[in-house]
Amino acid sequence: MDPSVEAALSGMLAAAEDATPVQAVEAVTRELGTALHARTVSFLIADLSGRDLVRLTHAPLATAVDGRRAGTDVATLLPFDGGPHEEALRTQAVQVVRDDTGWTVLAPVTERGEAIGLLEIGLDTEPAPQSIAEIARTAHALAFVVIANRRHTDLFEWGQRTTPFSLSAEIQRRLLPAAFTCEGGSFTVSGWLEPAADIGGDTFDYSLARDTLHFSITDAMGHGVTSALIATLGVGSLRNSRRAGHSLTEQADRAGAAIAQHAPARGAFITAILGRLDLGSGTCDLINAGHVPPILIRDGDPQELRLPRNFALGMFPETPFNAGQVTLRPRDRLVIVTDGMRERRAAALDLPARLRSLTALHPREAARALADGVLAVAGPALQDDATLLIIDWHGFHDRPRRANAGADISAATSADGR
């Protein structure tokens, strides 16, 4: 190991813990810059649209710096343009760029496939291959610093918000999982939500148990704050009963009863797909509660799954729910969307054809490409939320994950191959 990078790694945790949560990343990057004799070290966080990076810096108020300000913190937008920054994030591989002032190293900051951002390091001399590999490890360690410290401050969330949030968007954001992507040895899951101009109450969720992947996608009736509150009831009930160990049908029953009893609007309901994937066998139990059918892509061919039909959650709470089942094979892909991907102007997107074209992509990149496709035909402001969840089944539950610096790059995407 390069002694300078080894020193940086050993000092990172101490630097992060000695600093406040707001100063933790700055302290870590300063430690790294000193160890590497770097000209500059910056952390660039992925914005919530997934289409830009944001450079977070701390600057005195007297300093003239372009970008959004919050006190002495500055967020500068770097839109994706197909260049090395986007290439590093999409391929999840370190990029080394020669420029007029020396060399720039761009290392993905990633945890279990969740692309958090980039570590950008300016050097006077070309880094050796061993140094590049250790910088990648350092960027991976930085991901844990960000994850740990963002729980205590709004700084990172503020930096990621390149457009203002409404109250309903704020509520909806809190219903989503903390990470949109998770790679396991036997599966990869990734979700995405493209909000409408007036929030439509969509959510997705997942949780991993020792041998089970739980997941759901929901669409609450209506728009705005009322829809977000109905969604809160549904997601809260599903999480509560899931954590209590209830079966899939019991989760649906309880969520329906909660909505019928407590919803802020008369006749409120939520359409949903609820799922439970046995990671040992690939057996997947599914409940369709008045929702768009899931799509199974097998051997490149997308087909809607035929499941028992049920009323939406909350519509007829005394009616029991019936589950269906499918056994996944290695290399199968399960895609679940809300009606915002299929109705109104979004219907102009040939979803089966688009899904076929994306089968080789990592679910993280496939989800973003699908969202881009919907915006291309129905944007820039959608009439309804467009939400999707993609699960790739690899099989072999005991197989170790093939990871490098926080990411499985076996299905990474080039910025030129979106």
Give the C-alpha separation, 231 to 202, whole Å. Answer: 7
- Domain residue extents for the chain: 3-160, 167-417
Residue of 380 and 143 predicted with greater confidence: 143
Extract the tokens encoding 391.
């699960």
Give the C-alpha separation, 93 to 187, whole Å. Answer: 21
Nearest of 270, 275, 220 to residue 247 by alpha carbon:
275
- Which CATH number is 167-417 given? 3.60.40.10
Look-up of token digits 């139990």? 285
Does domain 3-160 sit in CATH 3.30.1230.10?
no
Q: Tell me which DSSP letter residue 404 carries.
A: B
Give the C-alpha separation, 269 to 251, whole Å. Answer: 15
Extract the tokens encoding 189.
């899951």
Is the predicted pLDDT of residue 412 greater than 70, yes or no?
no
pLDDT at residue 400 in the model: 77
Mean pLDDT over 3-30 rounds to: 79
Least confident of 21-25, 53-57, 196-200: 196-200
Phi, psi values for residue 31, rounded to 5°: -60, -45
Give the C-alpha separation, 160 to 44, whole Å. Answer: 10
Matching CATH topology for 3-160 and 167-417?
A: no
Give how far Cα 199 sits from Cα of 171, 236, 272, 367, 405, Å.
10, 18, 17, 19, 36
Give the C-alpha separation, 81 to 293, whole Å. Answer: 35
pLDDT digits (tens, 9 = 90+) for 29-83: 888 888 888 999 999 999 988 889 999 887 665 555 677 888 888 889 999 999 9
Query: pLDDT class for 204, splitting at 50, 70, 90?
Result: very high
| Helix ranges restricted to H, 277-362 | 351-357
Mean pLDDT over 222-244 rounds to: 96
Q: What percent of the chain has a predicted confidence (pLDDT) above 70?
A: 92
pLDDT at residue 72 in the model: 81
Q: What percent of the chain has a predicted confidence (pLDDT) above 90?
A: 64
Mean of per-residue pLDDT scores for the chain: 89
Tally of CB atoms within 10 A around 415: 17
Polymer length of the chain? 418
* 88 contacts 80 by C-beta, under 8 angstroms: no
